[in-house]
Every structure is written in structure tokens, then in C-alpha cells.
Amino acid sequence: MRVRLRDVAEHAGVSVKTVSNVVNGYVHVSPAMREKVQAALEELNYRANLSARSLRRGRSGLIALAVPALDMPYFAELTRFVVQEAELLGWTVLVDQTDGLREREQVVATGLRSHLIDGLILSPVAMDYAELSAVRDETPMVLLGEKIGGADIDHVAFDNVAAARVATEHLLSLGRTRVAAIGYQAGVVARSGVAEVRRTGYEQALAAAGLPVRASLTRTVAGFQRLEGARAMDSLLAERPDAVLCFNDQLALGALRALAVAGVPVPDEVAVIGIDDIEDGRFSSPTLSTIAPDKAAVAREAVRLLHHRLGGPAAPSREVSVGFELVARESTLGRRG
């Protein structure tokens, strides 16, 4: 039942080469021949065997995208963009979930499915550039990560330190002085880990304003989910913060929930800001102020870097930066916003 190129050739009474030429849109085929082949192709309902083609060409048209979790809105939205961009180049995206585990990140970078995928886009959580650079196989790889400069590995950089700093400065600009932070992470984390760099931005902003970093106003979380944000906010209430920077929007939405339950008016008593600009924050009550990274640009640049390594236009620098903007909504400005 499986229709091969050879079957089509026999059916049309031509050579396999000619059928292949037609299938691949090779121009030097006489119109009559092309028509005959086309008819046979349709009559037999031929579908190319992509494994065979890939083996022969040395290219599969598949790229992998490895993110911590598909059900974290930020990554779900990013994945959508990556799939869209890849499609423009005729590539298909294969999705991996690393759960932010070092072991899984390593497996992915070490060449899981090598020779099957043409390239890999990885959003590392546990491993840093140096480690990844050491274990990677020869498959082109693009990292989504921190601005680092001089790294010998392709990556789309987002300045998390600046993002957290700008967010914190926004809270300070409202006259808040007891600015808490939710999202510190305990134990071993990569130097370039998101929690680490956002923490740096937070602390830089406080320092610049001449404010101390109070341990009583910072909270460590086990993960960046809503529930963790709600818990952390609960435990923060006794400290009477007048503002909170959450290291992502999910934490912030959890914090908003905890404040609502406690009956604390936002932003009157406590202003809240997150980072990521996920869809939910635009429709929560109050709506969530946040730092909006240019997700479409992240996806576009990641795919573009891969394209370069796979024979596209000349390679640009290894590091491409992507910007962000402050989006102030009700959780810091109130209803007037």
C-alpha cells in the first residue's frame, strides 16, 4: 500500500530521477513529462518518505525546542512564536520539556535525537553557558538566556538584571520604600539563572535608591508557579511591605490572589509588579503591571541564529539582544491607569 517514488515512476513510465525532479520542483523538466508525472503522483497519492529523504540529504527539517514547562504561560506563548517562525523556513518543531532539571538539560544538549534534528533551541534553567558549551554535541544550538558577552555559544540575550531593576524602580518611583521580592531560589542555581539575575536587578535598584535589602522582605520559592507566589505573599503580610516585585507573572498572580483573600487593597496598600507579560495579567483584577519582553523577537532571533548555522545568510554575532518595556497597569497605578 506504501507508494514509493519507484512506483510512481513505473506508473508514469519514466525514471525515478524524473519523478524526483518533479517532486522537488527541479526546473529542467519538459512540460509534457511534468504533467504526466504530476498525474501519476496524484493518482497514487504519493507522499515522500521523510526519513529516507532526511538520511540522504543529511537534513531533516526538524528543530527541537526545549523549555522548562509547556504549561507555563510564558513558554507556551514563546513556543507558539517559535513554531510560527520555524514554519516560515519550512521547519517543524519538536518539543521537549526539561522541567528545569540539570539532568534533562544535559541530555538534550548532549545530542538527544542527534542526526534527527537539524538544530536545537534551549532555554536552560539549571546549566550555564560554560557547562552547556562543554557537553554539547555538534548539532547547532541556540540558547535563550542571559546577556553575558563573550560567550562562545549562540544565544538570544535578554537583560534580566535590567528588567528586574526597571520593575523595582517603577515601584520606588511610586514612593514605596518597603519593597519586597518574591522569587529568590535556594540551593545551587546557575550563575545565569533567572532567579539569580532578577535578584541582582532588584538589589541594584534598592542600593541605587539608598535602601537596604532586608531579608525579612525577600522570599524564596520552590518554583515560579502561582501557588508559590500566593504562599510567599501570605508569609510576607506580617512584614507590611508596601510593594512587591515578583520574579515572574505567575508568582505575581498568586500574590494578587493572596492579597485579595487577605483583603489588602492593591495598589493602595501594596503595589505588585511581575515580569513576562503573560496574557492572564491583562485580565486579572487588578490588571498586572509587568515587564514585557519582546517574545516575538526572541523567537524570531533564535530561529534566525539557527538558520545562519544551517546555511542561511552570513552569521551575525553569537549574541543577539532582545528588549523589553515596562507595562504599568492597575496593580501599581490603580484604576485610573
d(Cα 8, Cα 316) in Å, to the nearest integer? 43
Residue 9 has which C-alpha cell?
Answer: 515512476
Query: Which of its own copies, DNA, none sits in contact with 6, Cβ below 5 to 8 A by type?
Result: DNA
Residue 111 makes contact with its own copies by CB under 8 A: yes
* Contact residue for its own copies among 177, 282, 316, 337 (CB under 8 A): 282
Residue 27 in grid coordinates: 526546473
Residues between 215 and 244 with contacts to its own copies, criterion CB under 8 A: 226-227, 230
**Binding piece for its own copies, criterion CB under 8 A, among 177-185, 280-288, 299-307, 315-323:** 280-288
**Shortest Å, Cβ 266 to its own copies:** 10
Which residues face 220 on adjacent strands? 184
What does the alpha-carbon distance between residue 210 and residue 223 come to, in Å, rounded to a whole number?
30
CA distances from residue 181 to 5, 14, 113, 165, 225 in whole angstroms, order as listed: 62, 71, 40, 12, 15
Residues near 332 by Cβ (< 8 Å), separated by ≥ 6? 170, 171, 174, 243, 267, 271, 272, 273, 289
From the CB of 43, what's the least distance to its own copies, in Å?
15
93 binds, among DNA, its own copies, none (CB under 5 to 8 A by kind): its own copies
Q: Is 163 in the site for its own copies (CB under 8 A)?
A: no
Rounded Cα distance, 59 and 97, in Å: 23
- Residue 25 or 283 with smaller CB distance to its own copies: 283
Paired residues of 155 in beta bridges? 143, 319
Do you find a cis peptide bond into 68, omega within 30 degrees of 0? Answer: no
Question: What is the C-alpha R_g of the chain?
Answer: 25
The residue (of 169 and 277) whose beta carbon lies closer to its own copies is: 277
For DNA, which is the closer residue by CB, 55 or 222? Answer: 55
Q: Which is nearer to its own copies, 148 or 292 (CB)?
A: 292
Which residues are at the interface with DNA (CB under 7 A)? Answer: 2-6, 14-18, 20-21, 23-24, 27-30, 32-33, 46-49, 52-53, 55-58, 115
Question: Which residues in the 61-80 window bind its own copies by CB under 8 A?
Answer: 62, 69-71, 73, 76-77, 79-80
Q: What share of the chain is helix, strand, coil (3-state, %, to 5)?
A: 45, 15, 40
Q: Give Cβ neighbours of residue 210 (< 8 Å, ≥ 6 apart).
A: none
The answer to whether residue 83 forms part of the interface with its own copies (CB under 8 A) is yes
Q: Which residues bind its own copies (CB under 8 A)?
A: 1-2, 45, 47-52, 54-55, 60, 62, 69-71, 73, 76-77, 79-80, 83-84, 92-97, 111, 113-116, 137-138, 226-227, 230, 253-254, 256-257, 260, 279-280, 282-285, 287
